[in-house]
Structures are given as C-alpha cells and as structure tokens.
Amino acid sequence: MPSVTYLRLDGSIPAGVRHSVVARFNSDPSIDVLLLTTQVGGLGLNLTGADTVIFVEHDWNPMKDLQAMDRAHRIGQRKVVNVYRLITRSTLEEKIMGLQKFKLLTANTVISSENASIETMGTDQLLDLFSLSDKRPDDGERKDGPSSRSSLAAVSGRNVKSLLDSLPELWEDRQYEEEYDLSNFLESLHKH
C-alpha cells in the first residue's frame, strides 16, 4: 500500500495549534487525510480541502454529526463532497444510528418545514411521535422484523381514551403564571 500522508486533529492537539493544522490541510494538496474527532472538529472549522468525510465514530446527538459534515460543505468548497458512515450491523453503532434517526424524526415532526407546532398535531400524531415501534403507518412492517418493545403507538381506539383519561389534568394558565413567575423566583432566592 502506498504511503498516506495525514494530519491529526483531536483533543491532544493544543487549541492554539488547531487552526494551523486546518490551514495546512486546506492548502497542501500533498496531505491525503485529516483524522479528527467530531468533538474537536465538529464546530467552527472550515475544511474546504476535504472532498470525502468518513464517520468511524457516531455521536448520540445527531446535530453534532451534521455539524461535523458541514465542515466540508463550506463557502469556497469547489469539490463534490461525499459522506460515508461506517456502521457494523448488530452493534452499539447501529443502536446509536437508530437513536439519531429517532431524534431527527422527532425534531422534524415537532417543528416541520412549515413551522407547524405541536399544537396543530392530533392525539394519534403525538402518540406516534413518542413511539419506539418499528412500524410506520406509511411503510408497514420493516424488513428487520417486528419490534418486541412496547409502544404508545400500539394503543388504539378506546385504549387511547383510557390512556388520555389516566394522564393528570393540565394546569390552568393561572397555575403556570404563579409557578413560573420571575418575581416569586427571585424572592425565593433571597430567602435561602
């Protein structure tokens, strides 16, 4: 295998040196690879010298991975950027990716591109939002088999009503105003 030239950017690199590592990677075409962690390389970097991003580690928070991808998709990027995720089947990585997908779907459902809020959602939509079921109303059964996990979405018909009846009553506006009143909060701080 021919030699691969690389630079490294992780927590062991002093903060003051990191910018020069990135600048060298972007300007020196003889450097083939920049190895970095998403914790260090996820924010504030401009990696226009990259045309390929390969994730070997995956964060529990999907936004951190998306921010890391965006480091290569910057103004001034002249190359097509390909992103790959290395995931081993039936491992923690696969579970993390499932959680990332769930978190992104939840975020996209709560605040959609039309900027619809949770107030406009029906009860069934809200129950589906917090479902861990592998079934989706639009795609039927998934290929990887039925889920054995319980799910709020499994509650249907009259069971939905009994579930909703078992939930505590919502507060009235007055109760929220009293509980979250800034002057009451400041008073309680002075008492202690």
Q: Specify the CATH architecture of the domain 6-85.
A: 3-Layer(aba) Sandwich (3.40)
Nearest one of 95, 87, 93, 75 to 26, comparing CA atoms: 75
Q: What is the mean pLDDT of residues 56-79?
A: 82
Q: Which residues pair with 8 in a beta bridge?
A: 35
Q: What is the per-residue burial (b if ≥16 Cβ within 10 Å, else e) of 40-76?
A: bbbeebbbbbbeebebeebbeebebbebbbbbbeeee
Q: What is the mean pLDDT of residues 17-30?
A: 92
Nearest one of 114, 8, 30, 103 to 65, comparing CA atoms: 103
pLDDT digits 0-9 by tens, 108-166:
766 665 555 566 667 777 677 666 554 545 544 444 444 433 333 444 445 556 656 66
The predicted structure's pLDDT at residue 127: 72
Token digits for 91?
């491992």
- Residue 171's pLDDT band (boundaries 50, 70, 90)? low
In the chain, CATH 3.40.50.300 sits at 6-85
**More confidently predicted of 156 and 78:** 78
